[in-house]
């Protein structure tokens, strides 16, 4: 299917080019009057700082035994992994830094929190062009060691710091929190920039400011959120593991949902406190998937983006999640949702369509009751300049030469992974064994140096499996003077890490699923100074699409991986150089800084689009009641499906509820009220479910037929029109029905509709677009028809018939009406709202079927509409009428999200709210108070 085709690789721009594009967009928006504050709010799970409080506290709370886990910052055990941009485990060096000076406050020791450094680098680099606010959890607060140097720096060892007691959040006073905020405000930027500059301001100009907004969480909720729901449910699921696959005991996917929800609410409130109109908001990763919708509810005008750093699974995996709809609805509160790869974005779109039943737009967004969330993809890069700086460290050279001497005469394959199931270490070892089996010439001539850094929590089964496999390979293919696999289950220092990457003849990275694996990019940069060695890369990584010059493999196909290893080890110098140069250009062009600038650009591009159009306000209770009570004659015009009854999968099941029937009955009982149902349904359905309500007027088939209040006969607006096109449309619809399982045709007297609600959602949507294209580009050009795309349907009707014409007819014959309430939910109802744009200037858009009402500031003179003249005889004449209605008494109301693009003035969210408002109004007539 063409809708699923992988898009062509996008053009890469340099950082100055992206920043220039951002500047142009901002200038264009300001010229159009769109408010921009020049500030970006980033919402992350953690602040990029580790803090300890200089006071005595109670014993540390015991740590919860873990399971297979995603990268955590900081880990429960300190290590000495190098503080490279890809480091997921904070190094000992991070905690050996001197703390901030005591000049401003003597309560806190603060140092940089390593881990997710590429993300932090990209975020902070934006401060060269924008003011920023960094919202994040403080992390666990520990009591600072009692032994400190004169300037406040800790002299305790990393092990001693790791063993310090955790300070419960409830024991941290407001004064302590204020002091921490002061420390971050005065020293945060300096601390981030102290260890290898994260960015250099342009043209020597000083950068913008960075504010930090700590989120203080209850300890139980904080760890239930991360150690519970994030680590035990979401992270396994997003990496194609279910919670029972990784848990050591009975696992409940809902056990920690309350904590996850509460923490997301706390983050949303933190954003609400710091938000200013015109801010751009970016929310990062799977820890905070509910935050976009919570912000949307609190700040409906905010521009919100969500970036998911992890993989996103296919719909068949994601639908196993019990809270699947809550998670998706939370994400869809954003204006823009961005992923690492196109395939992840396609999986997300498929989940929204298949799990929630939402529809995709022509541009690939997701429509949620009128609010459109756009979908994009943009992989994260590394801070290339920082990596280059690290590679120039003087300690790397001696270690590099030592490795060359140790393995002289042998090819070196290097792998460095965290010991997690999804990192594919077992598959890599088995593929290496396959290499020695299939290519025996390598026995004695190649070694695999595999470094596995410990995971956050022990996985004894996996560790034992790896150890046994290493022993097996070494026993089978080794000798007294040759060991094929050198496995080091430990963290290594920065100099050793980069020396290992530099000395390699081949890099092999084989994760089964991974969002961003930066070791591959660091490998390319390291190799630029040495061998220009090739790289074997798993195709199941977020950065694989960008690194197409690597030898991409399926890590489950051991033969393919072994063949790629052999090819890499025997590759000619020319091919190695060509591959390396292309990879090096990608890695050094699309950096973490470029990624950060792209985020700003992508969200700015959404401004002014339908998903950031004007917010339609909620219908005002007091104003509605006041005009209702003062009116002498009132018109109520209702759509049915989606307005008085919710949308259902089987159309015949959309029966009116008891409150709906009560509201309509009581409204029609008042002689001041004239009530119409203006629906796309046929006459039989309306008569079956609503025909018993006396005084209710009805229009069927989108304005094709009308039955006046109190009458029983239906009048046909199409009897004088050429309807010969229906046979041609029916044949086209039959063609697509035969090829779309679950679809059906509904033939009415004035229109014909193809429904695909019961078909496969993605296939049905694809077929709908194909059918629409055929109708619009062939039949509609020759026949007086229009093609309408509805909710899971495609309808063809005469040009002269629509709901707007019925509204004009009702207004024309009731010019003394001084109150109008009109409610609808979909595109066909926009014709009604357009017909009620009575007080617009003559240049405003009008229906092509009939002329616009004459407009003066004080009154509206309405010409006879087509819906009046069609049913009259040839000799009948109709004069213009003057309408009594005033602008403030017209309540056009869209049902759906406030950001829904509509001509209506007001909105409600659900059909139930429409009914509640009507019951509240009729209660006023009974002498009671409104229930609104």
Q: What digits encode the pLDDT tens for the residues 49-102?
A: 888 888 644 333 434 444 444 444 444 333 333 444 333 333 333 333 443 333
Is the omega angle on the peptide bond into residue 74 within 30 degrees of 0, that is, cis? yes
Domains, in order of start, for the chain: 15-46+116-136+217-377 (3.40.50.2000), 390-589 (3.40.50.2000), 621-720+800-840+859-926 (3.40.50.1000), 724-798 (3.90.1070.10)
| Nearest-angstrom CA–CA distance, 108 and 85 | 26
Structure tokens at 756: 């695909």
Q: Which of 715, 678, 721 is nearest to 700 (CA)?
A: 678
In 506-551, which residue ranges form alpha helices assigned H by DSSP? 519-527
> What are the catalytic residues?
639
pLDDT of the residue at 105: 60
Q: What is the CA radius of gyration of the chain?
A: 33
Which residue numbers in the chain have pLDDT < 70? 1-11, 55-105, 145-164, 193-207, 243-251, 456-458, 608-614, 840-858, 873-875, 926-932
SS3 state of residue 58:
coil
Distance between terminal CA atoms of the chain? 49
Q: Give the tens place of pLDDT for each residue, 700-739.
A: 988 888 999 988 899 888 877 888 899 999 999 999 999 9
pLDDT of the residue at 477: 94
> Do the bridges between strand 673-678 and strand 634-638 make them parallel or antiparallel, or are there none, so unpaired?
parallel
pLDDT of the residue at 81: 36
Q: Give the tens place of pLDDT for each residue, 476-504.
A: 999 988 999 999 998 888 899 999 999 99
Q: Which of 830, 901, 908, 761 is nearest to 370 (CA)?
A: 901
SS3 state of residue 226:
helix
Question: Do residues 889 and 820 lie in contact, with contact meaning Cβ atoms separated by under 8 Å?
Answer: yes
| Nearest-angstrom CA–CA distance, 377 and 375 | 7
Q: Which of 641, 636, 628 is nearest to 675 (CA)?
A: 636
> Do the bridges between strand 506-509 and strand 485-488 make them parallel or antiparallel, or are there none, so unpaired?
unpaired
Give the Å distances, CA to CA, from 195 to 98, 112, 125: 11, 9, 14
φ, ψ dihedrals at 379, nearest 5°: -70, 150
Q: Is 689 left (phi over 0), alpha (psi -120 to 50) or beta?
A: alpha
């Amino acid at each position: 299917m063409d809708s699923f085709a992988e898009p062509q690789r996008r053009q890469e721009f340099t950082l100055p080019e992206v920043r220039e594009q951002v500047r142009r967009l901002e200038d264009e928006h300001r010229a159009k009057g769109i408010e921009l504050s020049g500030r970006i709010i980033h919402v992350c799970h953690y602040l990029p700082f580790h803090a300890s409080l200089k006071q005595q506290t109670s014993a540390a709370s015991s740590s919860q035994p873990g399971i297979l886990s995603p990268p955590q910052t900081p880990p429960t055990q300190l290590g000495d992994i190098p503080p490279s941009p890809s480091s997921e485990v904070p190094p000992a060096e991070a905690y050996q830094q001197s703390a901030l000076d005591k000049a401003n406050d003597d309560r806190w020791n603060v140092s940089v929190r390593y881990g997710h450094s590429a993300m932090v680098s990209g975020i902070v680099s934006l401060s060269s062009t924008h003011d920023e606010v960094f919202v994040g959890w403080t992390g666990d607060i520990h009591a600072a060691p009692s032994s400190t140097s004169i300037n406040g720096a800790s002299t305790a060892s990393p092990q001693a710091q790791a063993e310090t007691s955790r300070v419960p959040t409830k024991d941290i006073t407001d004064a302590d929190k204020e002091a921490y905020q002061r420390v971050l405000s005065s020293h945060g930027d300096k601390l981030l920039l102290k260890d290898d500059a994260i960015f250099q301001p342009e043209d020597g100009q000083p950068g913008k400011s960075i504010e930090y907004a700590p989120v203080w969480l209850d300890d139980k909720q904080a760890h239930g959120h991360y150690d519970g729901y994030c680590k035990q449910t979401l992270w396994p699921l997003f990496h194609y593991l279910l919670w029972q696959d990784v848990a050591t005991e009975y696992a409940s996917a809902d056990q920690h949902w309350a904590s996850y929800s509460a923490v997301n609410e706390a983050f949303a409130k933190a954003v609400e406190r710091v938000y200013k109109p015109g801010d751009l908001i970016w929310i990062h990763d799977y820890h905070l998937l509910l935050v976009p919708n919570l912000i949307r509810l609190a700040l409906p005008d905010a521009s919100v983006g969500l970036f998911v750093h992890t993989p996103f699974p296919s719909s068949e995996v994601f639908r196993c999640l019990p809270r699947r709809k809550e998670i998706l609805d939370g994400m869809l509160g954003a204006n823009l949702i961005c992923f690492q790869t196109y395939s992840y974005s396609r999986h997300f779109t498929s989940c929204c369509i298949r799990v929630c039943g939402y529809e995709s737009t022509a541009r690939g967004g997701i429509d949620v009751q009128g609010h459109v969330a756009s979908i994009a993809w943009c992989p994260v890069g590394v801070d290339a300049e920082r990596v280059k700086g690290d590679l120039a460290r003087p300690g790397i050279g001696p270690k590099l030469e030592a490795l060359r001497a140790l393995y002289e005469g042998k090819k070196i394959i290097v792998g460095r992974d965290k010991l997690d199931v999804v990192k594919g270490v077992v598959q890599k070892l088995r593929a290496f064994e396959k290499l020695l089996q299939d290519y025996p010439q390598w026995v004695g001539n190649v070694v695999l140096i595999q470094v596995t850094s410990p995971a956050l929590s022990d996985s004894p089964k996996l560790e034992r499996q790896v150890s046994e496999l290493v022993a097996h390979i070494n026993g089978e293919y080794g000798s007294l003077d040759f060991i094929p696999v050198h496995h080091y289950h430990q963290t290594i220092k920065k100099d050793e890490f980069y020396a290992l990457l530099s000395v390699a003849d081949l890099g092999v990275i084989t994760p089964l699923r991974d969002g961003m694996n930066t070791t591959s990019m660091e490998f390319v940069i390291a190799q630029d100074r040495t061998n220009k060695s090739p790289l074997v890369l798993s195709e199941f990584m977020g950065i694989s699409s960008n690194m197409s010059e690597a030898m991409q493999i399926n890590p489950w196909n051991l033969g393919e991986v072994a063949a790629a290893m052999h090819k890499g080890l025997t590759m000619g110098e020319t091919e190695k150089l060509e591959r390396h140069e292309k990879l090096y250009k990608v890695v050094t062009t699309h950096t973490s800084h470029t990624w950060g600038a792209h985020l700003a650009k992508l969200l700015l591009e959404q401004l002014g689009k339908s998903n950031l159009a004007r917010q339609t306000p909620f219908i005002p209770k007091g104003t509605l009641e006041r005009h209702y009570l003062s009116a002498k004659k009132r018109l109520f015009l209702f759509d049915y499906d989606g307005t008085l009854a919710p949308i259902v999968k089987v159309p015949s099941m959309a029966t009116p509820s008891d409150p709906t029937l009560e509201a309509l009955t009581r409204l029609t009982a008042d002689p001041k009220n004239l009530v119409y149902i203006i629906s796309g349904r046929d006459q039989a359905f309306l008569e079956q479910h609503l025909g018993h309500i006396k005084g209710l007027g009805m229009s069927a088939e989108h304005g094709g037929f009308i039955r006046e209040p109190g009458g029983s006969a239906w009048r046909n607006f199409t009897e004088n029109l050429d309807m010969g096109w229906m046979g041609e449309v029916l044949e086209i619809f039959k063609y697509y029905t035969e090829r779309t399982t679950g679809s059906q045709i509904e033939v009415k007297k004035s229109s014909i509709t193809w429904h695909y609600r019961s078909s496969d959602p993605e296939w049905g949507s694809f077929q709908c677009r194909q059918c629409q294209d055929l109708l619009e580009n062939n039949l509609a050009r020759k026949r007086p028809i229009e093609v309408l795309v509805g909710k899971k349907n495609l309808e063809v009707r005469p040009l002269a018939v629509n709901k707007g014409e019925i509204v004009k007819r009702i207004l024309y014959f009731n010019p003394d009406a001084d109150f109008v309430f009109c409610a609808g939910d979909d595109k066909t109802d926009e014709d009604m709202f357009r017909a009620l744009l009575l007080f617009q200037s003559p240049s405003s858009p009008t229906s092509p079927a009939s002329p616009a009402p004459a407009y003066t500031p004080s009154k509206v003179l309405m010409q006879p509409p087509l819906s009046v003249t069609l049913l009259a005889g040839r000799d009948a004449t109709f004069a213009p009428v003057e309408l009594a209605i005033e602008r403030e008494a017209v309540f056009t109301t869209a049902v759906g999200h406030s950001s829904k693009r509509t001509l209506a003035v007001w909105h409600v969210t659900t059909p139930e709210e429409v009914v509640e408002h009507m019951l509240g109004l009729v209660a006023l007539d009974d002498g009671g108070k409104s229930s609104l």
